[in-house]
Structure 1
Amino acid sequence: MPVSKTSKQGATPSGPARAATINDIARLAGVSKKTVSRIINHSPLVRKDTREKVEALMREVGYSPDPMARGLAFRRSFLIGMVYDNPTAQFIVNMQYGALDALRGSGFELVVHPCDSRSPGYIDGVRRFVQQQKLHGVMLVPRVSEDQALADMLDEIGCRYTRIAAVAMDDHSRMVITHDRDGAAEAADYLQTLGHRDIALITGPASYRSAIERTGGFVEALAKRGIELPKARIVEAGYTFESGVAAAEKLLSGKRRPTAIFCGNDEMAAGVYRVALRAGIGIPRQLSVVGYDDSPLASRLWPPLTSVRRDTRDTGRVAAAMLIQAEEGAAARPVASVRPHLIVRDSCQPPD
């Protein structure tokens, strides 16, 4: 009985196709497994004609290196982790897109770990995630990036990390700073320039550094222009649509309503839109609204929302790129930062 031959894709006439392995590539190309490994990892110790032949073969059979297997072979992982606890889904999606932009073509892959930073065992959970996946490094996204105990744990187990935060909280080689205070100050200056003086503020959770910075930047910018924000005009919420609705109901239910509201993110600003619509309050004719993040939601609301843009995708790209760059010269690198700026749309006008 004749023996069936295995195809380049690893299929047999009587069986399903299997993914090609590095051994298959070496055999079909007539080179050693070590040579294929060197080509996969962009080693200069391979002749050009050999590299081109092997790369053409890998494309032909659809071979893709397994990052876990590469990690075992090279005694290091080709996985980057992203750890987050954030209620805003779009923010997380944009951050992932940015990280993937940086990793594309590098041989590294992204794995994510959502967690509840209020849970007493969440740091142990992150530790298990890092050790089980043998991660090359970890991106820490707000709010977990603000937790020093988490950063200390990663230091202890020897895992490199980058922290994304509103202010510097670590060595600059580990930080991507988003300058939230400056973005909020720009929003305050804009509303004051329009002539608003009775202004309200819906903040994020007081335990979040981003909320502290945005509140501080907004209040201080108004104070410089002679406008004091009474405590009754500041309402803490949770960076969610629902909490924005609850905060807006407090601010807009009285006889004397503010003429403008600055919200700590776009989700809460959308909550203000909901309450204003129910109450028959016209935006921007009777109420000006400014958000923060300039998420896709901002341009989909009607009227389109004026919002502080922080390029979340670019932030994720910078944070991931820092993890895969060579360690040499890290101390000499400038501080990584992503600057916010106000995007003016149709949700604001001078008060009547």
Structure 2
Amino acid sequence: MPARKKAASPLALPSGKAATINDVARLSGVSKKTVSRIINQSPLVKPDTRERVEALMREIGYRPDPMARGLAFRRSFLIGMVYDNPTAQYIVNMQYGALDGIRDSGFELVVHPCDSHAANYIDGVRRFVTQQKLHGVLLVPRVSEDQDLADMLSEVGCRYVRIAPVAMDQMSRMVVTHDRDGAAEAAEYLYALGHRDIALITGPNRYRSAPERTGGFLGALDRYGVKVPRSRIIEAAYTFESGVAAAEKLLAGKDRPSAIFTGNDEMAAGVYKVAMRAGISIPQQLSVVGFDDSPLASRLWPALTTVRRPTRDTGRLAASMLLQPEENAALTNVSIRPHLIVRDSCQPPA
């Protein structure tokens, strides 16, 4: 009795035809891009999809061409973080958050500090992105607020997520921190304690966070009928030294405010230093509120009342957004809500 001929596999290819990546995509029902990601061991593919496509490749005998693979894979497993920020602790917390977001993903974090004052800083970021073949970039304030930088990243085809106090782009590319709301809560707290003579030490106006925090604080007081004189508002630089210089102006002489709100905790620490040298006790003679809730806030004495902005969570969420498949990006809408942490640096005015 003649031997029965083995039935052809429904996935068999014409005799003598070598399987191609297009065959794999067609037979598996996924895109060519997804097949390429699987070939290059990208972590951006669901495990069940990876297993199914790899099984198909084995069945039809598909073998990727190593040379073609190298040419096709244009992105590394690197996430970039670009920043120009004077507050070291903020940057450290943001980096920790980004590392949380990419942990166990196969991606690594590379950082690019820059000087956004420099005329050619965008060219420097362009070189960083293209030479490292970055999968995506996390933009930290203040560079996140630069539309020319965002346009350049779009031009070179690099994904990005911007962290900013207000929406400045498509929401799929934003983590919004709502700084204005946090500052308003600080103003309401000082008003509730009975303070009416309040001063502000703001950040530099070139940072979008500075006018947002100032506007939120003054707007909340204005709703209660409290006007802050221009002489009580001093622009500083988000640094300890600039906080010292501003506090020296506000606390000189007898006509001093009963409370000071600062745009970040570093500048609040500068207020503490000036008050100590002048023999002004906190909070008995001066109430102080900061912004950020950095580790410094709980280490000062008395412990600083401040607006908590969860920086580490912000970095984690931003990095996680870059790992999502681009087709899911349109569904993303991420916001971070600040809130006041009450400690020991405030009390009703004497």
TM-score of the pair, normalised by structure 1: 0.81
Alpha-carbon distance between aligned partners in 2 of 1:322 and 1:169, rounded to the nearest angstrom:
16
- What is the CA–CA distance in structure 1 between the aligned matches of 2:172 and 2:325, rounded to whole Å? 12
Q: Is the 8 A contact 1:202 1:261 kept in 2?
A: yes
> 1:342 maps to which residue?
340
- Equivalence for 2:272: 273
Rounded to whole Å, the distance in 2 between the matches of 1:300 and 1:241 is 15
1:54-203 equivalences in 2 (<5 Å): 74-203=73-202
Change (3 A) 1:38 1:296: closer
8 Å contact from structure 1 (residues 71, 77) kept in 2: no
| C-alpha distance in structure 1 between counterparts of 2:152 and 2:40, whole Å | 33
**After TM superposition, which residue ranges in structure 1, 4 or more long, deviate above 4 angstroms?**
35-42, 70-73
Amino acid at match of 2:347: Q
Change (3 A) 1:81 1:350: same
CA shift in 2, pair 1:297/1:39, >3 Å: closer
Cα distance in 2 for partners of 1:37, 1:147 equals 33
Q: Is the 8 A contact 1:194 1:350 kept in 2?
A: yes
Shift of 1:98: 0.5
- Which has the higher Rg, Structure 1 or Structure 2? 2
CA RMSD of aligned residues (A): 2.0
- Percent identity of equivalent pairs: 76
C-alpha contact 1:71 1:78 (8 A) present in aligned 2: no
Distance, in Å, in 1 between the alignment partners of 2:121 and 2:100 is 28
Residue in structure 2 matched with residue 319 of structure 1 by the alignment: 318
> TM-score if structure 2 supplies the norm length?
0.81
| Distance across 2 between alignment mates of 1:183 and 1:145 | 20
Code of the residue aligned with 1:220 in structure 2: it is: G
State the AA in 2 paired with 1:319.
A
Partner of 1:330: 329
CA–CA separation in structure 2 for the residues paired with 1:301 and 1:263: 15
Q: Are the equivalent residues in 1 in contact too, given 2:78–2:107 (CA < 8 A)?
A: yes
**Structure 2 counterparts to residues 7-26 of structure 1, below 5 A:** none
Cα distance in 1, alignment partners of residues 326 and 39 from structure 2: 26
Q: Which amino acid in 1 is paired with 2:344?
A: D
Check the 8 A contact 2:40/2:73 in 1, yes or no.
Answer: no
Residues 297-329 of structure 1, C-alpha deviations (whole Å, 9 max, x = no match): 000000000000000000000110111111123
Cα distance in 2 between the residues matched to 1:179 and 1:227: 23
- Partners of 2:265 and 2:296 within 8 A in 1: yes
Offset of residue 44 of structure 1: 1.4
Displacement of 1:331 after TM fit?
A: 1.7
Match of 1:351 in 2: 349
User: Which amino acid in the other structure matches residue 238 of structure 2?
Assistant: Y
C-alpha separation in 2, matches of 1:72 and 1:244: 53
* Unmatched segments (≥5 aa) in structure 2: 1-37, 56-68
Residue by residue over 1:85-119, the C-alpha shift from the partner in whole angstroms, topping out at 9 and shown as x without a partner, is 00000000000000000100111110000000001
- Report the CA distance shift for 1:130/1:36 in structure 2 as closer, same or farther (over 3 A): closer
Secondary structure at 1:185's aligned position in 2? helix
